[in-house]
Structure 1
């Protein structure tokens, strides 16, 4: 069976410039034949997946008189004189087109040589509209038995022969539109991403939360320790920051009288790029008045398990070959206990920082000299020895106050705060506090952070005076929660890299990469 893949247009024998020139010539030929190679619309009555499902039991050789109209992209062509078979792909899947010269030219009598034009002037990659009936061929392939067709969009560039075989992996991200065309599983990832976020919004709406948008451009960066992007407003003649969190404005809403608010939106942090980090990413932050971090643990379980059940239909998933059980309740364990399990070190027993550092070195920890407090050292031990071992869903609780400037002091453990992070497959997926509502304590912590900024810490920030003013009007006891959408999508769609979960991840320009 001859195929387009073996015809002279193949990238192996022709340059892209030559292919493009050939296809431009076909555009002109289509125009001369009375066809519009860039159409305005097409009436679509059915999609490929619907037809495959509806006629799954149709017997070989059987035809159904019902007429259908579909549209999609040609993925393959097989031409045999007076007969041709195309594979057509729409958003839902693929279906074969059964193209017979006599039938087409009878139905399209007003367009002489319609079948020959179809053979000679179409290519893999073109977008085609067809009308016809349903037939299953003798070989068992469900097909649209075409009566009429129209070239809706003539493609000028060929699809790659072996997209997954490209050595330049970044090209899949750079030309995501091509990746989506030739890899249906990539389209499925982003379809599921949309379903995941829709499920989260729907669940929160059912629980009485409302979504309120907060500013992306801010006069003070805050709500997290991260290096911000800086931009400039020409009219106001002032520097502004792209937000690094939605936290401080959502808390202002709680001060203003809302009791359950959230926002699902983009966050920008001027930091490293890796399989787990992208400088532009998506979070959902949720705040509930009169709640604490224990309530947020229950809410976190409910949001994630509801999304998994809605989208995947199960709480038992596989991530990169490892089975993950999302069935609640999830393990809850303190940072101190986890570090002691993995290192044998009980950081609550050290009297001095020097003593703690020596014990940490003896236990095999690295870079301990940079830690300025025992709390910082505890966190360093956790990141080095514990984090990557937390495969099943685990709430790590009760963090050092030094690394949690916006969390309420623990009600029974001095030096700690009421905070948890959720880890799954060794990655932080959610972060939550019993929110700090004492404006005096909050000022002291923000001023300490400002001192670090003055000393050169690029992730520390200035004091947000307006936020402190809001706290002085009084914020009720509040539980706050942030969930990383990209990492959750990675988990629920089995993506190894965050770039696979983001439709258009940030990449260096090609010339810069070559340099």
Structure 2
């Protein structure tokens, strides 16, 4: 069958195969000429593309050493122009046969776009006004055996971008910018907490029991101990042990693991910050949470007014604060506190609005269901929703004047939750009772219910001071401040189903 009669896909595969072979043949030729790029161990780089542009007047005429990837190449016979890309961006390199020598210049025939090079030369401006580096010598540091995506089309396939993040970072500069902003968010949070006297700590990822949140855990097995262990779903109970121990202000930034669904807002492993401070409560945590987010917005976006997926969001202080009951009254027209504790009345109200209620659901469970179904999707601007029912908050201190509720808040914006905080329950007797209720739910089939952590109760029996605690998703905050639609856009290597 001639090339003309081949199917387009088959022809394309043959063309790609030939291109790959050509690149391998070029590597072989370099190795036979004793110029194997993979034997080069170092490039004494002393400048970056963006630095040269920013400081051109200072650096003009001076020698520099650059290193980076060849992203474009224009051969003009006895001279060539290349664009070299390093971590800061791209800069043009001018190569002339008289300057780098005939042997080196003709040796460029075995180079390709995508190769990595080390360039020594001086900074100048071309006749067209482009800041460039005039090469005195150029060395191949690594051979790219696979071609980069077509420069006009780039790497657009979303699935492939997530699977091959290394290529995504090379050809889509805005992706690198997203992850640099993510790093800046974490650095900003750390700086603020460190300045406030918080101590960053690390707690176990492998836990004897799942605890600290309502979620399905991943289970693994320790061979030597012949013991099942759980990847942590939250570090909360360990961090509160440290408060008991007198550390008073602690935080941890790290990975959590939840064996649950995947969508644009959820990944099985994700990053959070959890922090705890003695002698404060959930109001103190509200103040700190909004300050952290406001500071991150100003540092990363340069403004308190941002756009997220076409919604205009104001992150100016203070954020809106509303009780859960007031929010339900506003958006669903039901006042749960007018019949607090009355589960039958709550069921009737749910039936009127067509909400599905489980047989085990109590007044508080149904109140929370109303919020999730009728209110959450209305919360676009940053809003603290506080005073939750005790049934859905097993680790939280009760409100003295309304014991059916607890001192808890969640921060919502763009129709999703960003942070969760409590006045921490420090009564070991009440805590045991809450755990026992959770175990009853677990025995009834609720796999997300907490198990009893006897050692944590023991810690509380030694006495934990009044404490405020807060957990916030770093991934969702990164999504917000980079205007990313999916959590996968802010995770360098999101969990992916294997290809067939």
Q: TM-score, normalised by structure 2?
A: 0.94
**Higher deviation after alignment, 330-339 or 74-83:** 74-83
**Corresponding residue of 1:249:** 238
Asked if 2 retains the 8 angstrom alpha-carbon contact of 1:163 and 1:182, the reply is no
**Corresponding residue of 1:374:** 363
Asked if 2 retains the 8 angstrom alpha-carbon contact of 1:228 and 1:243, the reply is yes
Structure 1 residues 182-230: Cα deviation after superposition (integer angstroms, max 9, x where no partner): 1111111111111111111111010010011100001011000000000
Whole-angstrom CA distance in 1 between matches of 2:145 and 2:118: 18
**RMSD between superposed Cα atoms in Å:** 1.8
Asked if 1 retains the 8 angstrom alpha-carbon contact of 2:255 and 2:270, the reply is yes
Whole-angstrom CA distance in 1 between matches of 2:440 and 2:387: 25
**Corresponding residue of 1:6:** none
1:87 partner SS: strand
**Higher deviation after alignment, 459-468 or 234-243:** 459-468
Displacement of 1:371? 6.3
Asked if 2 retains the 8 angstrom alpha-carbon contact of 1:490 and 1:501, the reply is yes
Pairing partner for 1:355 from 336, 345, 366: 345
Asked if 2 retains the 8 angstrom alpha-carbon contact of 1:407 and 1:433, the reply is yes
Displacement of 1:31? 2.2
**Corresponding residue of 1:384:** 373
**Corresponding residue of 1:75:** 71
Asked if 2 retains the 8 angstrom alpha-carbon contact of 1:357 and 1:369, the reply is no
**Corresponding residue of 1:108:** none
Displacement of 1:165? 6.5
Structure 1 residues 450-496: Cα deviation after superposition (integer angstroms, max 9, x where no partner): 11112221111321111111111111111001111100111111111
**Unaligned residue ranges in structure 1 (runs of 5+):** 1-10, 106-111
Whole-angstrom CA distance in 2 between matches of 1:18 and 1:465: 65
Q: TM-score, normalised by structure 1?
A: 0.91
Whole-angstrom CA distance in 1 between matches of 2:496 and 2:75: 41
Q: Does 1:88 align with 2:77?
A: no
Displacement of 1:166? 6.0
Asked if 2 retains the 8 angstrom alpha-carbon contact of 1:35 and 1:150, the reply is no
Whole-angstrom CA distance in 2 between matches of 1:67 and 1:283: 45
2:61 partner SS: strand
Q: How does 1:65-464 map to 2 (within 5 A)?
A: 65-105=61-101, 113-118=103-108, 120-161=109-150, 168-350=157-339, 352-363=342-353, 365-369=354-358, 372-464=361-453
Whole-angstrom CA distance in 1 between matches of 2:358 and 2:213: 24
Asked if 2 retains the 8 angstrom alpha-carbon contact of 1:263 and 1:285, the reply is yes
2:37 partner SS: coil
Whole-angstrom CA distance in 1 between matches of 2:345 and 2:154: 54
Whole-angstrom CA distance in 2 between matches of 1:331 and 1:494: 22
**Higher deviation after alignment, 351-360 or 319-328:** 351-360
**Corresponding residue of 1:26:** 26
Structure 1 residues 73, 333: CA separation in 2 closer, same or farther (over 3 Å shift)?
same
Asked if 2 retains the 8 angstrom alpha-carbon contact of 1:98 and 1:144, the reply is yes
1:65 partner SS: coil
**Unaligned residue ranges in structure 2 (runs of 5+):** 1-10
Structure 1 residues 167, 88: CA separation in 2 closer, same or farther (over 3 Å shift)?
closer
1:113 partner SS: helix
Displacement of 1:335? 0.8
Whole-angstrom CA distance in 2 between matches of 1:406 and 1:64: 63
Asked if 2 retains the 8 angstrom alpha-carbon contact of 1:209 and 1:261, the reply is yes
Whole-angstrom CA distance in 2 between matches of 1:101 and 1:501: 44
Displacement of 1:238? 0.4
**Corresponding residue of 1:510:** 499
Whole-angstrom CA distance in 1 between matches of 2:264 and 2:385: 23
Whole-angstrom CA distance in 2 between matches of 1:370 and 1:26: 71
Asked if 2 retains the 8 angstrom alpha-carbon contact of 1:16 and 1:157, the reply is no
